[in-house]
């Protein structure tokens, strides 16, 4: 048994809490008309999620709440609790006991709880559908509704049978999947339109990115080219500088030497100006030498005259000596003195005036001749003459010394003079050399200067190249950043080091070609514009990631749409198959129950096909609601028709059955349905009302039989039915309009029922 109890509180006439325990397979609820029995059946409908107010005999939610009667105040809330024993897990929830509760408030707000947790209606319906107690309520037959299944449209009948067969769960799933599919298709559409929206932007960004990538590649190429170019240029500059320095070294040194030499030569030339002073000295010496020579000559002449005088005196002396021998002439001393007195002034004059020396000497000599010729002297003169001669000899000796001195002086002067002359000659030679040297130096200098001039052109070119190198490095930094310094690690493709020799031996034109290639790439890069395009790359990455995400989402959505379609199809097939199967099984039972009821005859269900009406399902706050729209000409839908043939009667067709017959047929069908997929409980509210005694017995037999598979709650006035119940509840209503439930004995029940 699954159903344990029902608690009603504030619901309709049950102002006070009422608890009904169902611990018997068959429970009967009895009581006088209007006491509130049907309210119990409705309490079941209510708690199991019934949404139709009509089925609950009301218009609004408020109608379900104890409204007060007499002096009893109104309730604000109606609640019903049903307790199931779930030890056999007939409800797919992992609890031993499942309590489903529903409450409604005056503002029509409903509350649903499963085991105390607030849930949605949908959750309640889904949970119950697994136990074949769906909202179509085929297991709750309200008063006067026994033949409801016969009165319903073939489509609604089908729904009831589906419900009884426990197929509702598939329908829920189908509907749910349909809704999901719809939502998925909407999502697919919006994803597609989103992608379509961003597509041009992605395309634009992609082109930009392509450009950036190309520029990046070009920048990479440029880096490689730069590396070699700068490595070569750097080496070229350093090496060329070295070569130039070495070229400059010798001419510079030479020039310095020449300048030094020039200075020296100039000094020599300047010094030659001092030769004039030497010339003056020469002249002075020449003069002195002349004077010395003249003095010497005068002395020599004096000497000559003296010697002549001495000679003459000697002769006189000799003659005197002869004559004295012969004549014995004696020259007095007075005579000699007179001669000396005569000659002496002349000699003095001679000394004083050398120019008249000759004339004087002559006149002196003449005086002497005359003296001797005319005998101015007489007698013996020999003594005087000898005296005279001795004095002259003395004088000669003095003169000799003086001549020797004069000669010595002249010689010395001559030597000095020669020395100066030599010096002058020497000076003349060196100034000539200096002049020559100046000319040579100047011409050499101008040659070297020309050479240096040429080299300075090279130097200029080199410094221009150096400036250009620095400029190019700066520019390169803009394009390749710090990678520009990598040129220092440059090696040739063979890993061979780039040497100065290699660089210098290459023609400059090649390096120029490299530079031009670099320039071309630079211009192209500049034309492309933009820096690293980080923003664009970032945006492209983001946008394309978003697009990729959308694409993945689209694939996922399409897959889930496909899955849903498949699921719907599968569910549809399953539903169809299980339905056909179920109907066949019901038919078998239906025939048996029918035969049992009518003692023969035949009854069957058949699946009909008719044009489908559009079904619109909406989820409202009250749960799923289904509407039918105009006929859809395209689709066909199935329904269920009931055909009966009563024994011994020619009656065929439901319309022609009597009330009792309709009730019996309905009961047969309901019981048949319950046999195939027994619901945990069945509530039959005065289903037996129209039966006569014989049929009541048959009915009770069937009920008893049915109670083996489903718990039965029977609201009845029928004695026969009451007699089969294990538990009997009597419902009473006092003057306050409040229903009360109490357990009663069979006899009491019979009494209460009346």
**What does the binding site for ligand ATP look like in residue numbers (CB under 6 A)?**
12-13, 31, 33-39, 63, 66-67, 69, 143, 737
Nearer to ligand ATP, 143 or 604 (CB): 143
Structure-token pair, residue 248? 């400059």
The DSSP secondary-structure symbol of 5 reads: E
* Closest distance to ligand ATP from the beta carbon of 77 (Å): 12
Least Å distance between CB 733 and ligand ATP? Answer: 7
The residue with its CB nearest to ligand ATP is 33
The least CB distance from residue 44 to ligand ATP, in Å, is 12
Three-state SS for 712?
Answer: strand
Distance CA 602, CA 648 (A): 11
Residue with tokens 């195939």: 676
Least spacing, CB of residue 737 vs ligand ATP, in Å: 5
State whether residue 688 is helix, strand or coil.
coil
CB of 735 to ligand ATP, least distance (A): 12
Tokens representing residue 45 in the block: 């409908």
To ligand ATP, the closest distance from the beta carbon of 173 in angstroms equals 36
Q: How far is the CB of 740 from ligand ATP (least distance, A)?
A: 12
Pairing of strands 739-743, 727-733: antiparallel
| Cα angle for residues 359, 360, 365 (degrees, 5° grid) | 100
CB closer to ligand ATP out of 104 and 149: 104
Instruction: Tell the smallest beta-carbon distance from residue 180 to ligand ATP (Å).
Output: 40
Look at residues 753, 754, 697, 704 and name the one whose alpha carbon lies nearest to residue 730.
Answer: 753
| Backbone dihedral angles phi then psi of residue 206, each to the nearest 5 degrees | -60, -45
By beta-carbon proximity to ligand ATP, the closer residue of 383 and 737 is: 737
Nearer Cβ to ligand ATP, position 16 or 266?
Answer: 16
Nearer to ligand ATP, 67 or 323 (CB): 67
Q: What whole-number distance in Å separates Cα of residue 94 and Cα of residue 583?
A: 32
Cβ of residue 724: shortest distance to ligand ATP, in angstroms?
A: 19
Alpha-carbon radius of gyration of the chain:
82
CA distances from 149 to 61, 144, 160 (A): 26, 11, 8
Concatenated DSSP letters of 430-478 = HHHHHHHHHHHHHHHHHHHHHHHHHHHHHHHHHHHHHHHHHHHHHHHHH
Residue 645 β-bridge partners? 602, 652
Q: Which is nearer to ligand ATP, 42 or 410 (CB)?
A: 42
Residue 609 beta carbon to ligand ATP: minimum distance, rounded to whole angstroms: 39
Smallest gap from Cβ 12 to ligand ATP, in A, equals: 4
Give the residue with the Cβ less far from ligand ATP, 165 or 744.
Answer: 744
**Left if phi > 0, otherwise alpha if psi is -120 to 50, otherwise beta: which for 718?**
beta
CA torsion, points 547, 552, 557, 562, in degrees to nearest 10?
Answer: 130
Minimum CB distance to ligand ATP smaller for 272 or for 732: 732
Question: By the 8 A CB rule, do 662 and 150 touch?
Answer: yes
- The count of other CB atoms within 10 Å of the CB of residue 304 is 12
CA angle at 721 for the pair 717 and 724, rounded to the nearest 5°:
140
Choose between 39 and 380: whose C-beta lies nearer to ligand ATP: 39
User: Which CB sits closer to ligand ATP, 58 or 398?
Assistant: 58
Q: What is the DSSP letter of 377?
A: S
Using the minimum distance from each CB to ligand ATP, give the nearer residue, 36 or 601: 36
d(C-alpha 597, C-alpha 504), whole Å:
124
Q: How many CB atoms lie within 10 A of CB 664?
A: 26
């Amino acid at each position: 048994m699954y159903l344990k109890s029902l608690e009603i509180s504030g619901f309709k006439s049950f102002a006070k809490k009422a608890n009904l325990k169902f611990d018997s397979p068959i429970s009967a609820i009895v009581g006088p008309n209007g006491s509130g029995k049907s309210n119990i059946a409705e309490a079941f409908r209510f708690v199991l999620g019934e949404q139709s107010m009509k089925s609950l005999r009301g218009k609004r939610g408020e109608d379900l709440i104890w409204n007060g009667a007499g002096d009893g105040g109104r309730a604000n809330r109606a609640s019903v609790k049903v307790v199931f024993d779930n030890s056999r897990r007939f409800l797919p929830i992992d609890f031993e006991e499942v309590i489903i509760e529903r409450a409604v408030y005056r503002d029509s707000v409903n509350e649903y709880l499963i085991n105390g947790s607030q849930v949605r209606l949908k959750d309640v319906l889904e949970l119950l559908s697994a136990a074949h107690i769906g909202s179509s309520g085929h297991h709750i037959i309200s008063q006067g509704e026994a033949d409801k299944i016969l009165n319903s449209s073939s489509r609604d009948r089908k729904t009831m049978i589906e419900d009884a067969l426990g197929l509702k769960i598939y329908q829920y799933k189908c509907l749910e999947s349909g809704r999901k599919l719809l939502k998925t298709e909407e999502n697919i559409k919006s994803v597609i339109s989103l992608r379509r929206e961003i597509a041009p932007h992605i395309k634009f960004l992609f082109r930009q990115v392509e450009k950036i990538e190309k520029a990046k590649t070009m920048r990479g190429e440029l880096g490689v080219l730069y590396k070699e170019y700068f490595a070569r240029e750097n080496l070229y500059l350093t090496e060329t500088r070295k070569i130039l320095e070495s070229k400059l070294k010798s001419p510079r040194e030479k020039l310095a030497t020449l300048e030094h030499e020039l200075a020296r030569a100039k000094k020599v030339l300047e010094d030659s100006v001092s030769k004039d002073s030497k010339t003056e000295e020469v002249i002075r010496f020449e003069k002195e030498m002349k004077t010395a020579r003249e003095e010497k000559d005068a002395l020599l002449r004096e000497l000559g005259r003296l010697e002549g005088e001495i000679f003459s005196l000697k002769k006189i002396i000799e003659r005197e000596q002869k004559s004295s021998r012969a004549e014995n002439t004696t020259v007095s001393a007075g005579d000699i003195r007179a001669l000396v007195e005569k000659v002496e002034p002349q000699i003095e004059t001679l000394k004083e005036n050398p120019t008249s020396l000759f004339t004087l000497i002559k006149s002196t000599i003449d005086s002497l001749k005359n003296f001797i010729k005319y005998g101015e002297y007489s007698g013996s003169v020999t003594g005087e003459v000898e005296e005279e001669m001795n004095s002259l000899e003395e004088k000669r000796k003095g003169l000799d010394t003086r001549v020797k001195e004069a000669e010595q002086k002249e010689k010395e002067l001559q030597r000095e003079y020669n020395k100066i002359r030599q010096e002058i000659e020497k000076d003349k030679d060196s100034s000539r050399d200096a002049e020559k040297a100046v000319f040579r130096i100047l011409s050499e200098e101008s040659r070297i200067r020309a050479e240096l001039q040429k080299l300075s052109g090279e130097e200029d070119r080199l410094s221009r190249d150096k400036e250009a190198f620095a400029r190019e490095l700066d520019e390169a930094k803009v394009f390749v950043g710090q990678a520009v310094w990598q040129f220092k690690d440059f090696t040739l493709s063979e890993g061979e080091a780039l040497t100065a020799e290699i660089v210098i031996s290459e023609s400059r034109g090649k390096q120029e070609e490299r530079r031009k290639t670099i320039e071309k790439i630079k211009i192209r890069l500049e034309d492309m514009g933009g820096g690293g395009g980080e923003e664009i790359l970032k945006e492209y990455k983001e946008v394309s990631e978003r697009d990729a995400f959308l694409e993945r989402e689209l694939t996922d959505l399409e897959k889930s749409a496909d899955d849903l379609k498949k699921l719907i199809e599968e569910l549809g097939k399953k539903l169809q198959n299980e339905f056909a199967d179920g109907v066949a099984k019901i038919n078998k039972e239906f025939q048996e129950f029918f035969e049992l009821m009518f003692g023969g005859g035949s009854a069957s269900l058949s699946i009909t096909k008719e044009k489908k009406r559009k079904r619109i399902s909406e989820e409202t706050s009250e749960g799923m609601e289904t509407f039918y729209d105009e006929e859809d000409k395209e689709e066909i839908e199935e329904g269920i028709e009931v055909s009966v043939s009563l024994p011994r009667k020619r009656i065929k067709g439901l319309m022609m059955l009597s009330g009792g017959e309709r009730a019996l047929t309905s009961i047969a069908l309901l019981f048949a349905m319950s046999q195939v997929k027994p619901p945990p409980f069945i509530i039959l509210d005065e289903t037996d009302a129209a039966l006569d005694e014989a049929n009541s017995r048959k009915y009770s037999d069937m009920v008893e039989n049915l109670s083996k598979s489903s718990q039965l709650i029977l609201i009845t006035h029928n004695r026969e039915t009451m007699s089969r119940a294990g538990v009997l509840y009597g419902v009473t209503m006092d003057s306050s309009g409040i229903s009360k439930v109490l357990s009663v004995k069979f006899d009491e029940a019979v009494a209460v029922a009346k």
